[in-house]
A and B are shown apart, each in its own frame.
Chain A
Amino acid sequence: MSAIFPKWTNRLPLMLIVGGGLVATAVVGGTWYYATPKYTRVGYMPIQPVAFSHTIHAGQLGLDCRYCHSDVEKSWFSNIPSASTCMNCHNQVLKDDPRLELVRESAATGKPIPWVQIHKTPDYVYFNHSVHVNRGVSCVECHGRIDQMDEVMHAKPFSMSFCLDCHRDPAAKLRPLDKITDLGWTPNADPKVAAEKQRTDGQKLLHDWKVESLQNCSACHR
């Protein structure tokens, strides 16, 4: 019989395997990098209807997080305050500033300001703020340095592994209850000492407070 297939087909299987392998690696690698929450969520910084700067309010002025997000200690939901909270100061400070027009309108008419939601867990996750805030987990662990953000940005990936990293080792993140909203707090100025102190202090809190730090599915997925 004469040669049915041309000679280059001898190398075809090898090329297919190598090529397929490269494509598969690219797809897996690409998905791993681009399609996971670490890439898709971190850095999300939508533009809000009102130019509220946390740097000024929480950073420079030193307002406690709970002044506005007042229900965070009582409920699973951390509330966005209504415009009347803003008007507590802004009925005197920057009274007629055009940037606050929407706020004044909201306080007067009761029409809520449509803030763009940044931090949201999927519907099948039941996260509870009050139990974290009351038990030694600071706002900064999940929300980052909000007091340094002009426009709030999604600082952490909020993937399940992100939650589990802390739940598997809470001693690395626990801090005294009066330091929860002190976002820049470290146990010690010197970073090496701080790491060591966090470990020992955190261990102590974990033990004294009987922190459960649940890892079973029913803790978050009901």
Chain B
Amino acid sequence: MKTIPAASADQSTGRHYWRSLDQLAETPEFREYLHREFPEGASELTDPVTRRHFVKIMSASFALAGVGLGATGCRKPEEKVMPFGKATGEYVHGVPQYFATAMPTRVGAVPLIAKSNDGRPTKLEGNPLFPGGNGATDRFTQAAILNLYDPDRATTFHKAGAAVSRETALGALAELAKKFAATQGEGLALLGERKISPSRHRLHKLVSEKLPKAKWYLYEAIDSNIHTAAATQGFGKSVSPLFRFDAAKAILSLDCDFIGGEDDAHNSIRGFSSGRNAEKGMNRLYAVESLFTLTGVNADHRLRTAASSVINVAAAIAKELGVNIGSVSTAGVDAKWVTECAKDLKARGKEALVVAGLRQPLAVHLLAHAINAALGNVGTTVELREDNISRSIGGIADLAASLNKGEVDTLVLVGVNPVYDAPSDLNWAATQKKAKGGVVRLGYYAQDETGAVSDWHFPFAHFLESWGDALTTDGTYVPVQPLIAPLFGAITDLEFLARLGGLDVVDSLAIVRETFATLSKGGEAAWNRFLHDGFLPGSAAKPVSASLDSSALSRALAEVKAPATASASNLEVVLHRDYSLDDGRYANNGWLQEFPDPVTKITWDNVILVSRKTARDLNVKNGDIVTVTANGQSVDGAIWTQPGMADFSLGIALGYGRQKVGRVGQGVGFNAYPLRTTTSGFISTGATIKPTGKTHVIACTQDHWSMEGRPIVREANLDQYQKNHEFVETMDAAVPPVEQSLYPNPLEEAKKGALHQWGMAIDLSSCVGCGTCILACQSENNIPIVGKDQVKRGRELHWIRIDRYFSSKNRKFGLETYKPEEAQQFEEWIDDVQAVNQPMLCQHCESAPCESVCPVNATVHDHEGLNVMAYNRCVGTRYCSNNCPYKVRRFNYLDFNKRPLSALKGPLYPTPLLNRTKGEWDLLRWWKNPESGMREDDEWDLIKMVKNPDVTVRMRGVMEKCTYCTQRIEGAKIAQKVKAKDSGDVRVPDGTFTTACAQACPAGAIVFGDISDPNSRVSKLKANHRNYSVLEFLLTKPRTTYLARLRNPNPAMPDFTEAPWSSQEFDLKNHHGSHDASHDSHDHATDAKKGAQH
């Protein structure tokens, strides 16, 4: 619907009514208005003979001749078009610009290309030039852009809660610098987050030289540094490990969720998925874990064991491979599982890889390194690099001790939020107050837990508005380049530290250039190339060789205690990094809050994950609020039954329950940080649970866990596939042969004149289910968030979703009575499950059921195969969504873009007729300014900057769905035609562009392109034997097809089955035999297959 913009305030041109020409020409009012409009030239213009005046008379006469003709105002509200004030040279309005930058993480950085529209960043993509990368990103990177436009971010400098000017604050910082320069830093304590940045490292050295007595501390709530610490101890020199998943043929994960919960997941996923290639030899993944993580979802063999017992499994495997495990017990461990796994690893030798998770204690990591050394893979799958950036300086416990002793005068916090996430035994909120001179904080949110109690608060610049640098995990030097000047005058950590140290150079850009000069001798040209490419070539650290120091291992193993038997009264608590909110830093990011957890599919909440047996023994069910007591602390949380989880283990995600973060994150979920002490680590035993009798509503996007034996996701074991390449066809349903269509499909005719035919293939063997595609699509297509209540009603707006199905080898299919979704949590089959993922988006069916039922023809098919949605035509009948068998159409039940963020967690949106916002009737406010929603101005002004200008922002009442990124398709076609000019070279070459989801996928599972070109990547994938369409028997002829998933289990393992469990379920349900080539008793119409494969 067109919004009529408000009439321009400037009334000086156009809209005037005259009763006579004389009145127009000669009245004093006319002269008056001329004076106002043109102060300099007014006297000249009242000369009735000027051309200007003549034109006015002429158009006035036209005005009298016809109603509404001419410049009178009846007709059209006036809009202004403003040119640039000064010529811009190369900048072209309407054409986006791209800049290389990087997103700093706690282990390194993600190299990026950021797209900038009108001088502001709107989309982040991976840097395809980066050596070894594939131009993909991870979840947090895709959502990070929304953080830049967070209306709750710190917008001013604060002193004791009151806003002060930038000059005042920087002046105070200078005073502080002078004060500590005099005492050489005596009494100054700095607590910072972990940043792998050469500039920051250099500044640390410079400031330490100036203030040698200042004490530096480092705290990360979820610290990945255990990998480095373990490698350093295990190999006797300061090294940090890089795991080469792409070089590994057999991987053993000891509670290491490298696909989801660990840092640098985009590299791990890329490496892992590249090895899942049936033609080139598939890798094999063994997972030992208690929670059902994404790594467990993708594992070929999974041993579910309590997290505190992983050490025993690791020890058993190590023993098999000849490592001395001291007195660590291996009782209670599945002996056959361990033996066969160890045998397989040994057979692979240097192509095997053992990784331990950051949750696990040091002993497990050292055991893993010992096993790796025994297998001889140090240098192939485990690469060690010298670690000279991460500083082994004091931790937060040391700082607390120092504070308690009264040694600290001024406490400076750089980017950390310890009041929220510090270990509970430190009682940080009170401890922090012991800094005599006060607390100075540099933070992103001024009103978060720590900012609210700090004496000084400096706004921390987002990485998209900062100059900086970083090292990626392989040691390559990358720039952090700003895309926009700091929106609110925020400062970077480099500038902050430089000012605090009283250094001469405080400008971030100058600091980075100085660092660059130490790393490259190329001068200006090299600097420009560095900024252009987004990395410094040849700067990757070379792997070093090292040998195992077994004394470290024996020391660590000697301290391992035998765990008590887990039971309902002796539970273990496994705190883990949340898939969406990380350690809590993204709590105010709406996209991530609404992002369904890849395994549980829960949004807007964290839960206490328990296995079925645990829930039964504790007599709790989904949604019950219970009190968990561990390490002397208690927290309340809601229960959720998780299939495949270890018994008597409680999985609780960190990062929720923040009471002070902003409109979106406040009060969402429950805070699990109190359960963590300085010594407890992530895994605590001896926990108990007490029901409270209350319940909590949980918004889950996928309530039904099973495919019920339907061949939606098709999978087979590798050797099944090798014996019968066409196994997917055996799972096709029987379809009567199609002789001739009664109604010819218009697409057949239209195709003949088309330049391309668009299609997509998704390889389920590569897809790990991480969900980066969901956030990339949300970012690219201006998809709003709907809030918890609407998600509960199934109205989430994600155009692409990842369906996750559990399957079991114990399912029985028969004449069952209907069981509601809630009954699933009590079914025994969920104890041991396999899971599969399937990204589901609009299939762009050639014979689309949605197109024929639209009463207003708002959804049509274009000649290139796209199912097109014209939002302005849609009246909101929702018949199309009703008819869609894949349920990929999303409806805007409410105007989600105009809903205020604070209302997102509440009950159903109240009617604007009777609603008041901040004391003012909404209708009245709308009358005064039709552009206002219920949103406060600061919210709308900022959030609208993240919108992609090439995509319509949809209003209430309109249906939307995946468009195969039609704006990118049109953009590429237009660019090709503009390049072609007067030639016929208008076909877009394969690989010029791709959809947002395909570009972001770290596994490279989604491939989009022109299927009419037999040499395109997507055509080759669709020709693959594993290619099939979902629900092909409906003859919708979808353009999005899938490649069946292959598992690579080890036949010697005790949990080996001939076929994956979902295939077994399919066979059971459909009374099929096996999937071998001799199977031919069904009349699977090949027409259906032909129709499906275009």
Which of B71, B79, B93, B951 contacts A71 (CB under 8 A)? B93
* Interface stretch of the complex, out of B628-636, B865-873, B1014-1022, B1064-1072: B865-873
Q: Is the CB of B872 within 8 A of A209?
A: no
**B10 to chain A: closest residue by CB:** A114
**B39 to chain A: closest residue by CB:** A101
* Interface stretch of the complex, out of A10-18, A47-55, A161-169: A47-55
CB contacts (< 8 Å) of B982 on chain A: these are 135-136, 176-177, 205, 208-209
A116 at the B interface (CB under 8 A)? yes
B156 at the A interface (CB under 8 A)? no
CB contacts (< 8 Å) of A176 on chain B: these are 982
Among B14, B81, B963, chain A packs the most CB atoms within 10 A around the CB of B81
Q: Is the CB of B860 within 8 A of A217?
A: yes
Secondary structure class of chain A's binding surface, majority of residues: loop
Q: Is the CB of A123 within 8 A of B3?
A: yes
Q: How near does chain A come to B331, taking the closest CB pair, in angstroms?
A: 64
Q: How large is the interface on A (under 10, 10 to 19, 20 to 34, 35 or more residues)?
A: 35 or more
**A118 to chain B: closest residue by CB:** B81
Secondary structure class of chain B's binding surface, majority of residues: loop
A23 at the B interface (CB under 8 A)? no
B95 at the A interface (CB under 8 A)? yes
A131 at the B interface (CB under 8 A)? yes
CB contacts (< 8 Å) of B863 on chain A: these are 216
Q: Give Cα A150–Cα B95 distance, bound, in whole angstroms.
A: 31
* Interface stretch of the complex, out of B51-59, B354-362, B578-586: B51-59
* Interface stretch of the complex, out of A77-85, A186-194, A195-203: A77-85
B246 at the A interface (CB under 8 A)? no
Among A34, A39, A106, A135, chain B packs the most CB atoms within 10 A around the CB of A135
Which of B69, B82, B755 contacts A114 (CB under 8 A)? B82
Chain A residues 36-79 with CB under 8 Å of chain B are 39-41, 43-49, 51, 71, 73-77, 79
Q: Is the CB of B83 within 8 A of A82?
A: yes
Q: Give Cα A54–Cα B498 distance, bound, in whole angstroms.
A: 57
CB contacts (< 8 Å) of A214 on chain B: these are 862
Q: How near does chain A come to B744, taking the closest CB pair, in angstroms?
A: 18
Q: Is the CB of A124 within 8 A of B872?
A: yes
Chain B residues 58-109 with CB under 8 Å of chain A are 59, 62, 68-71, 75-76, 78-88, 92-95
**A47 to chain B: closest residue by CB:** B13
Mark interface residues in B929-960 (1 if CB within 8 Å of A CB, else 0): 00000000000000000000011100000000
Q: Is the CB of B981 within 8 A of A134?
A: yes
Asked whether A84 and B87 contact (CB < 8 A) given A114-B80, A217-B862, the answer is yes
CB contacts (< 8 Å) of B871 on chain A: these are 124, 221
Q: Is the CB of A77 within 8 A of B78?
A: no
B919 at the A interface (CB under 8 A)? no
Q: Give Cα A138–Cα B308 distance, bound, in whole angstroms.
A: 75
Mark interface residues in A208-221 (1 if CB within 8 Å of B CB, else 0): 11101010111101
Q: Is the CB of B977 within 8 A of A48?
A: no
Q: Is the CB of A51 within 8 A of B55?
A: yes
CB contacts (< 8 Å) of B983 on chain A: these are 209
CB contacts (< 8 Å) of B504 on chain A: these are none
Q: How near does chain B come to A164, taking the closest CB pair, in angstroms?
A: 14
Q: Is the CB of A124 within 8 A of B81?
A: no
CB contacts (< 8 Å) of A101 on chain B: these are 38, 40-41
Which of B83, B93, B864 contacts A115 (CB under 8 A)? B83
A151 at the B interface (CB under 8 A)? yes
Which of A117, A150, A210, A217 contacts B80 (CB under 8 A)? A117
Q: How near does chain A come to B992, taking the closest CB pair, in angstroms?
A: 16
Asked whether A210 and B984 contact (CB < 8 A) given A74-B95, A128-B974, A222-B967, the answer is yes
Asked whether A222 and B41 contact (CB < 8 A) given A75-B92, A210-B984, the answer is no
* Sampled A-B contacts (20; CB under 8 Å): A43-B70, A45-B70, A51-B55, A75-B95, A81-B83, A81-B87, A84-B87, A98-B44, A98-B45, A109-B85, A115-B80, A128-B974, A134-B977, A135-B980, A136-B982, A212-B973, A217-B868, A218-B969, A219-B970, A222-B970
Rank and list the top 9 A-B pairs by shortest CB-CB distance, nearest first.
Answer: A216-B862, A75-B94, A110-B85, A77-B94, A117-B81, A98-B41, A124-B872, A218-B868, A210-B984
Given contacts A80-B81, A106-B85, 4 further A-B contacts (CB under 8 A): A131-B978, A135-B981, A210-B986, A212-B986
